[in-house]
Structure 1
Amino acid sequence: MLATVPIVYKVIFLCAAGFLSAFVDSIAGGGGLISIPAYFLVGFPPHYTLGTNKFSATSGSLVSTIKFAQSGKVDNNILKILVPCAFLGASAGVTTVLLIDPNILKPIVLFLLLAVGIYSFFSKTVGMEDNFKGVNRKNLILGGIFAFAMGFYDGFFGPGTGSFLIFGLIGIYGFDFVRASGNAKALNFTSNVTALILFAINGKIMYLMGIPMGIFMVFGAYTGSKVALKQGARFIKPIFIIMSFAVAVKMIYEMFIL
């Protein structure tokens, strides 16, 4: 535990963890596997961990979204429908989590994460080519339902949201991993902002450490997005699979060992 070390070392540790988590998250999601344990290690209480992490991660998520958008990997015609759906879903999810224990979702989410990871691992073609044929009524409706569901899930529970978003966008629109990651970042940013506002209203953010960590997350997100856009789908796919399995392993540990 780092709870007893001087605050300057805590900040340095959090900044390093923030850079790495945002770097990974901008590529394939799953950055919370690094940032949330980092907050716990320096002694943050659970609610402040979640709130401050949302504050820091949202800045990195915004930078990733902008970087992908500048490279033409974000589809505005789709997002103008999906973003409001994600916002409504996240709002409903945060409200529902106050009434229902989110742990009821753990077995379902664990199964889905493993299924996504295994399918992506064995499929040679999934996400490797951009087969997007344009917008139509069917994929907009499916995308809207999916965005609402993912927003709700992120507000209600959260683990694996990035993996589910990327995989779902590939399935619905035929995107490759690069394009799916860009659009997933925009949707994830929407649900992050929604949760961030609610955490801020309830005073669950420690700005003293959240601000410097957020700055380093901006650098991490920018670097990760740049690498992902340069290296393409063949670079993103293995990281996507690793992060999907990593979230699943974390959940197995929490369910059966802790």
Structure 2
Amino acid sequence: MLDLSLDLILMLVAAAFAAGFVDAIAGGGGLITVPALMLAGLPPAQALATNKVQGVFGAGTAALSYARRGLVDLRQQTGPAAIAFAAAVVGALMVTRIPTQTLRYGLPVVLIGIALFFALKPGLDDSDRARRITPALFAATAVPVVGFYDGLLGPGAGSFYMLGFVMLAGYGVLRATAHTKLLNFASNLGGLLAFALIGKPLWLLGGAMALAQIAGAMLGARLAMRIGARVIKPLLVLTSTALALRLIWQML
């Protein structure tokens, strides 16, 4: 952090605020902070590690904001959160052992599919629907798969959680967002534990960005709870599409 100018630090703090706001509503905050950290001169591994430091606080703040409004029961979700945490730790530790390039090629297609689903499927609002699987089965299948992916690669994990909660658990868009933020927090925390060992995050910079993340997440969660699906769906479509385009650009 000492090597960064004040202008760069302020730019990164502003990026963290914007990321916290967007992430609390639809996910995808890393689209803002990771490129900003790399533009500031951090190597990719250190940028990802530092991003996890500040991202944990944003996701945690959003999860608590939703919980205070009764949109997620923290006690009932302790088990799924613990599964997401453990799966993310395993995923992060397997980064050097699993070839991830094939997954990267398929990700843009999946993300664009998710964007089209939320953009075009009629009747998607804040109302709950009939669930297709039990909460226990959801926690035993969808949660560890997405948590493992979040630790292994990360991009789009929030969109995958959202899709699972809407399609399988039968949650309305706002309630799905609330539960997604809790699992995002858990898997981010698991990823941070592993990245702290291999990525050498800049803790002071991550802490400064975390304060901005908290402020942005509080504002974003408040807006989402006030407007609901009308703001969540368009922003989710936008972030999923932007992430897909960024991944395509990186491959090219």
- Alignment coverage as a number of residue pairs: 250
Q: In 2, Cα distance between the equivalents of 1:108 and 1:91?
A: 23
TM-score, normalised by the number of residues in structure 1? 0.91
Match of 1:239 in 2: 235
Match of 1:181 in 2: 177
> How has the CA–CA distance of structure 1 residues 219 and 129 changed in structure 2, closer, same or farther, with 3 Å as cutoff?
closer
Q: In 2, Cα distance between the equivalents of 1:189 and 1:57?
A: 8
Q: In 2, Cα distance between the equivalents of 1:92 and 1:199?
A: 11
Q: In 2, Cα distance between the equivalents of 1:108 and 1:34?
A: 22
| Distance apart, 1:202 and its partner CA | 3.7
> How has the CA–CA distance of structure 1 residues 200 and 109 changed in structure 2, closer, same or farther, with 3 Å as cutoff?
same
Match of 2:19 in 1: 21
Between the aligned residues of both structures, percent identity stands at 33
One-letter amino acid of the counterpart of residue 197, structure 2: I
Q: In 1, Cα distance between the equivalents of 2:199 and 2:233?
A: 38
One-letter amino acid of the counterpart of residue 99, structure 1: R
Query: Which of these residues, 101, 104, 114, is aligned with residue 103 of structure 1?
Result: 101
Q: In 2, Cα distance between the equivalents of 1:155 and 1:181?
A: 20
Between 157-166 and 85-94, the greater mean CA deviation after superposition: 85-94
Q: Report if aligned partners of 1:81, 1:140 keep a CA contact under 8 Å in 2.
A: no
Match of 1:198 in 2: 194
Match of 1:116 in 2: 114
One-letter amino acid of the counterpart of residue 110, structure 2: L
| Distance apart, 1:189 and its partner CA | 0.5
| Distance apart, 1:77 and its partner CA | 6.1
Match of 1:41 in 2: 39
Q: Report if aligned partners of 2:65, 2:218 keep a CA contact under 8 Å in 1.
A: yes
**Runs of at least 5 residues in structure 1 that lack an aligned partner in the other structure:** none
Q: Report if aligned partners of 1:61, 1:189 keep a CA contact under 8 Å in 2.
A: yes
One-letter amino acid of the counterpart of residue 184, structure 2: N
> How has the CA–CA distance of structure 1 residues 6 and 84 changed in structure 2, closer, same or farther, with 3 Å as cutoff?
closer
> How has the CA–CA distance of structure 1 residues 250 and 130 changed in structure 2, closer, same or farther, with 3 Å as cutoff?
same
Q: Report if aligned partners of 1:85, 1:145 keep a CA contact under 8 Å in 2.
A: no
Q: In 1, Cα distance between the equivalents of 2:133 and 2:98?
A: 34
> How has the CA–CA distance of structure 1 residues 176 and 125 changed in structure 2, closer, same or farther, with 3 Å as cutoff?
same
Match of 2:84 in 1: 86
One-letter amino acid of the counterpart of residue 17, structure 1: A
One-letter amino acid of the counterpart of residue 212, structure 1: A
Q: In 2, Cα distance between the equivalents of 1:15 and 1:104?
A: 34
**Runs of at least 5 residues in structure 2 that lack an aligned partner in the other structure:** none
1:34-59, Cα deviation, whole Å (9 max, x unpaired): 00000011101111101100001111
1:116-150, Cα deviation, whole Å (9 max, x unpaired): 11121111213x1322568x973421332100000
1:19-46, Cα deviation, whole Å (9 max, x unpaired): 0011000100001000000001110111
Match of 2:210 in 1: 214
Q: Report if aligned partners of 2:45, 2:199 keep a CA contact under 8 Å in 1.
A: no
One-letter amino acid of the counterpart of residue 88, structure 1: A
**Pairwise CA RMSD of aligned residues?**
1.9
1:181-221, Cα deviation, whole Å (9 max, x unpaired): 11000001001111112222346111232111111111011
Query: Which of these residues, 144, 149, 154, is aligned with residue 153 of structure 1?
Result: 149
Match of 1:54 in 2: 52
Between 197-206 and 36-45, the greater mean CA deviation after superposition: 197-206
TM-score, normalised by the number of residues in structure 2? 0.93
One-letter amino acid of the counterpart of residue 36, structure 2: A
Query: Which of these residues, 219, 224, 230, is aligned with residue 223 of structure 1?
Result: 219
Q: In 2, Cα distance between the equivalents of 1:77 and 1:137?
A: 20
SS in 1 for 2:24: helix
